[in-house]
Amino acid sequence: MKIKNVLWAFCFCGMSVCSLEAQQVWTPDNGDGTFTNPLMWGDWPDPDVIRVGDEFYMVSTSMHYVPGCPIIKSKDLVNWEMAGYAIDRYDEDPKYDMQGGNLYLNGSWANSLRYHNGKFYVAFCTPYGWGRETGHFSVCEAEKPEGPWKRTIFPEYMYDPGLFFDDDGKVYVVHGQGTLYVTELNEDARSVKGDKVKIWSGRFKNAHELGGGFGMEGSHVYKINGKYYITCPAGGTEGWQICLRSDNIYGPYEHKLIMNDDSSYPKNGLHQGGMVQLKNGDWWFIIMQDRGAIGRVPCLVPVKWVDGWPMLGADGKDVVTYPKPAVGKASKIKSPATTDEFNTKKLGLQWQWNHNPDNAKWSLTERPGYMRLKASPANNLKNARNTLTQRVQGPTSEGLVEMELTGMKDGNVAGFGVFQFPYAYVAVQQEGGARKVVMCNDGKIVETAVENFTQDKLWMKARVTDKDFIASFYYSLDGVNFFPIGNVLKMDLGLYWTANRFALFNFTTRDEGDGGFVDFNWFRFHGK
């Protein structure tokens, strides 16, 4: 197997020549004992966090992407790396295999992470459609975050679940939107023990605490000094954080606004997340912030207890840069992986498929050192199986790929782009034995850059920025000189609440027969 250099040089036509190191990503660690939010400038929505010994773990919502329920780990709450996923694939509906439709907006929502009696637990809900009134609820369990994980799908539906193991052996889930409920589970957390009990349906006196009808959701539950605390966001994208407090899990509950600040990224406030206690007794809160098409990013703020309430940041406000948590040890600067040379037999943890993959139609071993994608029938990228994705990142990021085309067949559309709705990409299309290099934006071909493409290699690049949320696209015939192609993609968060992603793909517009294949030599990431 050949080993590829993770340093590369390239230049753009009319732009400066530069040498970049693969996987330069945003890091919050300032190297001087402080950090600056966000923790990751990418889509890690609905975070929940725990500590097990000296290690911290965080879980995030992943919707329809597979594997699902990503779990990352850290020694200091600032520097993070991937640990694993709680879901390998979704088998409850053939639409996850894009058979008879698709299941965008489904999968895992509002993950809750807990550790109890030597096991990790991840709970999440899967709403059906836009209404969110129906769906199902799942609990996954494993002895280590890398897995293997066992999943239990409940017949009951619990929206935005907060899993909680009480110190008397009882197990509860707090769930709901606007109106909150508590449902008791059996001790093994694999079935429901009792009926749901309503614990909160109050309307706040101060209108800004309600958010124009976006009531509390995303519950996480704690028992601290004998009292039950439930932290919840309210107000939607521009929201804030509320805390409920009671002497009994079933209430009655009093409430307090514990964070209300949008100053770090107006007008989107910090809202939804979970808190964790250090060994020295300090508390910290990981809380997300919507940053448009780049995603819902996690931020870390200290907790100060005031009159028995966990106040976040500095008196409920965010100051962006803070001293690092006092974990007692120095930590190396780390970030979740991005660049991939495809030199291993397993797919890197940075990658997720759009819906369940067809494992017979991709390989890292048929040609060692390459990601081989075999085409399946689709009429466009939205419906294409085996689209391989990873997060774009802010404030700017670039993805670069090298693709070999010797296995292409008529009907193939293979390339690289930025995926959400709308999406855009650079691709090679083959028909009648002839190939052409095209740029597609929102389902329409806007430029054919090379009408008769005879090479067997193409280099493609996408650059994204949070300034006006645009993506620009480039192609190269030699891997050195890059030329702009098409127009810019005006990125959106889309209808499905997942941020934009870099995407490698190969599909065929033919209904039958062998769809052909392409080989991706590497994906290289650069960000600021």
Distance between CA atoms of residues 259 and 275, nearest Å? 13
CA distances in angstroms from 313 to 58, 144, 183, 259, 288, listed in the order given:
19, 32, 31, 7, 13
> 22 and 6 in contact (C-beta within 8 Å)?
yes
Marked catalytic residue, from 43, 160, 184, 217: 217
Distance between CA atoms of residues 239 and 304, nearest Å? 20
Dihedral (Cα; 352, 356, 362, 368), 10-degree rounding: 40
> 425 and 416 in contact (C-beta within 8 Å)?
yes
Annotation says 46 is catalytic: yes
Q: Which residues contact 216 (CB under 8 A, 6 or more apart)?
A: 177, 178, 180, 200, 232, 233, 234, 242
Largest CA distance in the chain: 75
Going by C-alpha positions, the residue among 433, 423, 431 that lies closest to residue 503 is: 423
CA distances in angstroms from 402 to 5, 147, 416, 427, listed in the order given:
13, 32, 9, 12
Residue 383 three-state SS: helix
Residue 49's DSSP bridge partners are: 58
Count the alpha carbons within 13 Å of 22 in the hemisphere toward its beta carbon.
15
CA distances in angstroms from 63 to 60, 87, 421, 491, listed in the order given:
10, 11, 15, 19
CA distances in angstroms from 498 to 91, 95, 368, 416, 423, listed in the order given:
21, 18, 32, 18, 13
Distance between CA atoms of residues 245 and 199, nearest Å? 11
Ramachandran area for residue 86 (φ above 0: left; ψ -120 to 50: alpha; else beta):
alpha
Annotation says 91 is catalytic: no
Count the alpha carbons within 13 Å of 101 in the hemisphere toward its beta carbon.
6
Element spanning 268, H or E: none
Positive or negative torsion for Cα 384, 388, 391, 397: negative
Q: Give the amino acid at 44.
A: W
Q: Which residues are catalytic?
A: 46, 217
